[in-house]
Amino acid sequence: MSTIEISQIKVIASKEFRDRIRNRWVIAVAIIFTAFALAIAYFGAAQQGEVGLRGIEVTIASLVSLVIYLIPLIALILGYDAIVGERERGSLDLLLSMPITRLELILGKFLGLSAALASATLAGFGLVGVWLSYQIGIGALYHYAGFMVSAILLGMVFLSLAVMVSVISKDRAQASGGAISVWFLFVLVYDLILLGLLVLSGGSVGETLFPFLLLLNPADIFRILNIFSTQDLQVFYGLTTVFPISLSNPWLMGAMMITWIIMPLTIALWRFK
């Protein structure tokens, strides 16, 4: 293994980040986040026949159900092109003829795109957070900050998956198909299969296996991380019945997220020829 030159990672990362600022990607996504967050915070209880702000816990729970669809999708769209795009355009050879290793290139791409997504998340949801703290109280910020950090981690997990898809795909069409499949798998299909399994087995897998199966899906980790943050929500979701409280330690969940970030990147590096 050769040494890693941080400066090379920085060059690639700053280019990716600058590109997303310049083509207004960051501002556009931030506006989408702000609009959705405001709408959800205000109209989230409309089903119960009322509008207006509710407690921070319920607001976060509503935001979680939005973010769990939206952020993986945005991250995958942002990242699927990272390597295969350079390859298809024909700029990859020139890039690799520079004094840069493939690891540095992958990390640079990943970190630059992560910075863009994190900025959009912080700006979009942060604005709403500030407004919420005025309306609900400064104490709300604590949980809300946790929600934003976990949302950024969720974005990074799916960016990492997107970079992996980008490396192993032959062309951009295949990569976009791969990215959409990843989204369907983790965001829609996985939970359905788990639920089906639970019902089919008459709940017998539930006791021991189920919590661990949940940890195999980063989207579920994100959900657990946010919903277990407050007592109210645990009851609200009835999650404690299937998920042992001992596994809900936010540090453990955070570590799982980080593992989910590292693994796809490792596979990407291994397959990058």
Partner 1 sequence: MKNNVIEVKSVFKYYGEVLAVNGVTLTVFKGETLGLIGHNGAGKSTLFKMMLGLIPTTSGEIVINGTPVQGNAFRELRRSIGYLPENVVFYDNLTGLETLQFFAELKGCAHEALLPLLEKVGLIHAANRRVDGYSKGMRQRLGFAQALLGKPRILFLDEPTTGLDPEGIREFYAILHELNVQGVTVIITSHILSEIQERVQRLAVLKSGKIQALGTVQELRESVDLPLTIHVRQHGSAETLMSTLQGITFEALSVESGVAIIRCHRAQKMEVLRRLGALGNALEDVIVKEPTLEDVFLGYAGLGA
- Residues that bind partner 1 in the complex, under the rule CB under 8 A: 1-2, 7-8, 11-12, 15, 19, 22-23, 89-91, 93-101, 273
CB of 24 to partner 1, least distance (A): 12
Which residues, other chains included, contact 272 with Cβ-Cβ below 8 Å and sequence gap of 6+? 83, 102, 106, 167
Closest to partner 1 by CB, 4 or 189: 4
Closest to partner 1 by CB, 78 or 225: 78
CB of 7 to partner 1, least distance (A): 8
Residues 52 and 66: their CA atoms lie apart, in Å, by 18
Q: What share of the chain is helix, strand, coil (3-state, %, to 5)?
A: 80, 0, 20
What's the distance, CA 96 to chain centroid? 29
Do residues 178 and 169 lie in contact, with contact meaning Cβ atoms separated by under 8 Å? yes
CB of 106 to partner 1, least distance (A): 15
Closest to partner 1 by CB, 15 or 271: 15
- Residue 61 has which token pair? 């729970």
State whether residue 201 is helix, strand or coil.
coil
CB of 38 to partner 1, least distance (A): 31
Closest to partner 1 by CB, 96 or 122: 96
Which candidate, 271, 262, 269, 267, places its Cα nearest to that of 105?
269
Closest to partner 1 by CB, 19 or 207: 19
CB of 156 to partner 1, least distance (A): 24
